[in-house]
Chains A and B, each alone.
Chain A
Amino acid sequence: MRKLIAFFQRFRVFLFFALLQIISLSVYITFLAFPRFQYLTTANSVTGQIYSWENDLTKHFNLSAENTKLQEENIALRAQLPKSLMKLSNNTVKIKDSLYKQQYEYIAGEVINSTVSNRNNYFTINIGEKHGVKRLMGVFSANGVVGVIHSTSSHFSVVKSVLTKDINIDVTIEPIGLFGLLKWDGKHPARGNIAGISNDLKIPRGSKVLTRGGSGIFPKGLLVGTVDAVYAIEGEAVWDVVINFSEEYRSLQRIYVVRNLMLEEQQKIEEGIPIDKEERQ
């Protein structure tokens, strides 16, 4: 017993150091997987409030560019309105259409804090549970995909952006229609990679990369970027596809959160897929 106490006496500095180190590392590792301590992120109300004050000051710096972006989006949307389409035949009768049902709803928000130079970059946005935001909802902007909601509080949320290690959004390359997973190698905030594209098909430079919409997080066909280069990986039957993101994440401000009204239905029916143990790698 005395030896044990002597041991603690002798190594008390190291033990204290190890304790602090274990606390911080375990917080870090659990956080990457699943957020548990709300007050340690920028989604908590104090830090969120400070960042929204800061954003109130700095957001006007990009105002004109931001306005042009919104204007362009408005023009594109306006072009689809019935008003701007010419009527080609007069003998149709308007009936209540039950062919289409609303599947996705969008919640508008603003990025109030972001980084792009870390290995894993998280954005804080100024909408939260009160506005209907939940964990694992998709986030996109006028120009492309932004990320997935990582954690929420009542007024703020943290977005796990496309610029993180394991973002894995499922995308397709048009017009070929190949499926792959979006990755980011941490080097440049304007370039990403797609994994899992088999190398028996040619991919033309400049082909569009869109979301596949398979997991129900994003609607189908949202722009992600364009193919910049395709490299062969030695010893593997897949291409290393490098893409240019269509969104400039360094100056991102306005975003939309996707709420899928039929997500539960999709998840329920997909639960029935039997899991083959050998397939799970």
Chain B
Amino acid sequence: MNVAIKIAIRFFLFWIMQVLVFNQLEFGFGIHLMIYPLFIMLLPFDTGIFTLLLLSFGLGILIDAFSNTFGLHTSALVMMAYFRPIIFNLFSQREGYDPLKEPSLFDMGTRWFIFVYGYLLLIHHFWFFLIEIFRFNEILMILQNTILSIIISFIVSLLILTLISKKSKFK
């Protein structure tokens, strides 16, 4: 399948799923389930930084328009997209990345994925709750929300990843 079409379909699916399904789930304890960072994570290795930033800005604005957060998701997602190349460089192998592979669990290995996606989620979620709460005396609540949300978001992201990846191709 053409890469551009695949990305467009994923863009639409992640947006619809976040807005109509995951935004409606209430866990309590300040947990906010966000799965759309996975879309930015799964973009091909050779995606330019400007494309990354623009895609994250677009997806963020669309999600904001549907959840009454007015720019909060956008800001956090743009922040994460800016850090994606930096984190990728930190965890690159000696020979660099193979542009034919996908930055997912099944192509790059469990260890790589947990660290890279974990760091990116940490940046995204921390920035999100920091801007949303924005009070120094509620720093404990920021940390609690961040940590609990990361755990839930990561697990759900793994489930989605197993659904959308064609694992059999690499056996």
Residue positions of A touching B, CB distance < 8 A: 13, 16-17, 20-21, 23-28, 31-32, 39-42, 44, 47, 50-51, 54, 113, 115-120, 122, 124, 158, 186-189, 250
**20 chain-A/chain-B pairs, Cβ below 8 angstroms:** A13-B50, A13-B82, A20-B57, A24-B57, A24-B71, A28-B71, A28-B75, A41-B70, A42-B65, A51-B66, A54-B20, A113-B68, A115-B67, A116-B26, A117-B31, A118-B32, A158-B68, A186-B141, A187-B30, A250-B26
Q: A25-B71, A51-B66 are in contact. List 16 more A-B contacts (CB 8 A).
A: A20-B57, A20-B78, A21-B75, A24-B60, A28-B69, A28-B71, A28-B72, A41-B65, A47-B65, A115-B68, A117-B31, A118-B32, A119-B133, A186-B30, A187-B30, A250-B26
**B64 interfacial contact with A, CB 8 Å:** yes
* A40–B64 CB distance below 8 A: yes
Q: Is the CB of A16 within 8 A of B65?
A: no
B28 to chain A: which residues have CB within 8 Å?
117, 188-189
Instruction: In the A-B complex, list the 4 residue pairs whose CB atoms are closest, starting with the nearest.
Output: A28-B71, A31-B70, A122-B68, A24-B74
Most chain A CB neighbours (cut-off 10 Å) among B27, B66, B129: B66
When C-beta atoms are compared, the residue in chain B nearest to A159 turns out to be B68
* Dominant secondary structure of chain A at its interface with chain B: helix
Q: Does B122 contact A (CB under 8 A)?
A: no
Question: In the complex, which range does the number of interface residues on chain B fall in?
Answer: 20 to 34
B61: which A residues are within 8 A, CB to CB?
Answer: 24, 40
| Closest chain B residue to A22, Cβ basis | B75
User: CA A199 – CA B3 in complex, angstroms?
Assistant: 66
A41 & B68 in contact (Cβ 8 Å cutoff): yes
B residues sitting closer than 8 Å to A (CB atoms) are 20, 23, 26-28, 30-32, 49-50, 53, 57, 60-61, 64-72, 74-75, 78-79, 82, 129, 131-133, 138, 141
User: What separation, in Å, do the CA atoms of A250 and B24 have in the docked complex?
Assistant: 10
A120 to chain B, nearest CB (A): 7
Q: Specify which of B50, B66, B69 is in contact with A16 (CB 8 Å cutoff).
A: B50
Docked-complex contact A47 and B71, CB < 8 angstroms: no
CB neighbours (8 Å) of A118 from chain B are: 32, 69, 132
Chain A positions within 8 Å of B32 at CB level: 117-118
Interface contact A27-B70, CB-CB below 8 Å: yes
Nearest CB on A from B137, distance (A): 11
Known contacts A20-B57, A24-B57; is A117 also within 8 Å of B30 by CB?
Answer: yes
* Contact between A42 and B67, CB atoms less than 8 A apart: yes
Closest chain B CB from A254 CB (angstroms): 18
CB distance from A163 to the nearest CB of B (A): 12
In whole angstroms, what is the CA distance A17 to B79 when docked? Answer: 8
Cβ contacts under 8 Å, B78 to chain A: 17, 20-21, 24
Contact A42 B66 (CB under 8 A): yes
CB of A31, distance to nearest CB on chain B (Å): 4
Residues of A within 8 A of B68 (CB): 41-42, 113, 115, 122, 124, 158
Distance in angstroms between the alpha carbons of A118 and B31 in the assembled complex: 8
How far does the Cβ of A46 sit from chain B's closest Cβ, in whole Å?
Answer: 9
- Return chain B residues, CB-CB under 8 Å to A27: 70-71, 74
Chain A residues with CB under 8 Å of B70's CB are 27-28, 31-32, 40-41
Q: Which residues of A contact B57 (CB under 8 A)?
A: 20, 23-24
Contact status A186-B133, CB under 8 Å = yes
Task: With CB as the reference atom, state the residue of chain B lying closest to A190.
Answer: B28
In the complex, A188 Cα to B57 Cα: how many Å?
31
The smallest beta-carbon distance between A54 and chain B, in angstroms, is 6
* B65 x A40 contact (CB < 8 A): yes
Instruction: Write out the residue numbers on chain A whose beta carbons fall within 8 Å of the beta carbon of B27.
Output: 117
Distance A188 CA – B71 CA, assembled complex (angstroms): 24
- In the assembly, what is the distance between CA of A8 and CA of B23, in Å? 39
Are A39 and B65 neighbours in the complex by a CB distance under 8 Å?
A: yes
- Chain A min CB distance to B36 (Å): 15
CA distance A116 to B26 in the complex (A): 7
The answer on a CB contact under 8 Å between A25 and B26 is no
Set of chain A residues within 8 Å of B50, measured between Cβ atoms: 13, 16
